[in-house]
Structure 1
Amino acid sequence: MSRSTYVQRTIRNTIVSEKSFKETLDSFLYELRFFHPVHADKMIEQAMEAKDPKVFDTLAEEASGRFGYLSFGDHKVHRYLNKFNPNRPVLESHAIALGTSPRAYSMTKHNQEATINFPLRITVTQRPNDDRASVTWDLPSSQIPNLHLNKTLANAAFFVDDKFEELIRFCSGTMDEKKYKKILSMDKGAKVGAWKDAGGPTLSKL
């Protein structure tokens, strides 16, 4: 038995960074704690061994960056393309996967099939004519089928939209300067906004 579901058209966004390509990429890797020694899978294993899901939340809180995200890997697209097509070298391009603790996964709680689009992904691509980056991402809410039928799910999806773009605007240097400086001045270990179960229309606020 099989079934087909109509998924509304994905909204794909691209912005040009105000920072150099290297600064933009480094900002993402830093905010996602890409070089943190404990991977999300290891955190899950530790929580299962302790038989306490709060262990994962604690570890994720400690390992995540200011925006509450963890790295799920950096796929260096240019390395493969240049390996198999050396006569037409392409500029540097990274497909970065990111996620966060289960508390933030309101969408997947209401619709487990939403995990087909999670972890979230962004691409950071070097531009050919200047030293900046093109940053591309799919709007999370646009990837969930029948979103209009579930108000709670819709609120959660819009919440994630907001948090996701906030991270992207910060790392690419396209955020309002006043807010950007306020985030930079935060104490070590502080988080931007609050990841919580999005049961209402409240969005992330600094």
Structure 2
Amino acid sequence: MEENTAAVPQESRQPSAHDLEVLSRQLGRPVRDVVEIPARCVCGNPLVAATAPRLSNGTPFPTTFYLTHPVITSAVSRLEAGGLMNEMNERLTADDELAGAYRGAHEAYLQARNEIAHRSGTGAVPEIDGISAGGMPTRVKCLHVLVGHSLAAGPGVNPLGDQALDSITEWWTKDRCYCDGAWDTAGEAPSRDLSRHGPQGLPEIVGRPAPVRKSKTESESGKEGTA
């Protein structure tokens, strides 16, 4: 079986402050609750972030492997726009062997998440028991999730993630670095989180506390004292 040079050994998965800064720049927002870097570029930059199954604000988070590299995410978006997910869903209904392998990928995802929960100290998250991501085990709803899983787990685990990786070689391959110019490296890393999970800063990177979102009442009160 072909070696996946993007997947990294366990001892290299601990995220450094530099990794977290790069992830924040790749995503354009502060990353939250990243506990491992399961796949890296040949240059060492993160390709995939592993997120704790329960965020620090208490929210259950089933998407363990989050694809972060802008070149790969853009390439996968092209596949989605081209209708590859529809084709995959049709194959899942017609090909029992593929459907079985995809169910196996679902089980592997759950096992990997449980292992990460144990290593990170998160513990069990019963709210998402049996729930993986990306549409598994019966549908394809997000190719980015499947590609993130394939990069983290290595080839032969998620057949549709592997197929998607094979389909983006025009834009990205695991044996080359595509990081130069792929994200903004000037100035401070993003420190304001506008995502649905609420604000979370990276004090060790940007040198200031996480921003606090004001309530509507507080905001209106502040406006009254300004010109």
| TM over 0.5, shorter chain | no
- Flag the structure with larger Rg: 2
Task: Give TM class, smaller chain.
Answer: under 0.3
Structure with higher strand content: 1
Give me the TM-score of the superposition, normalised by structure 2.
0.26
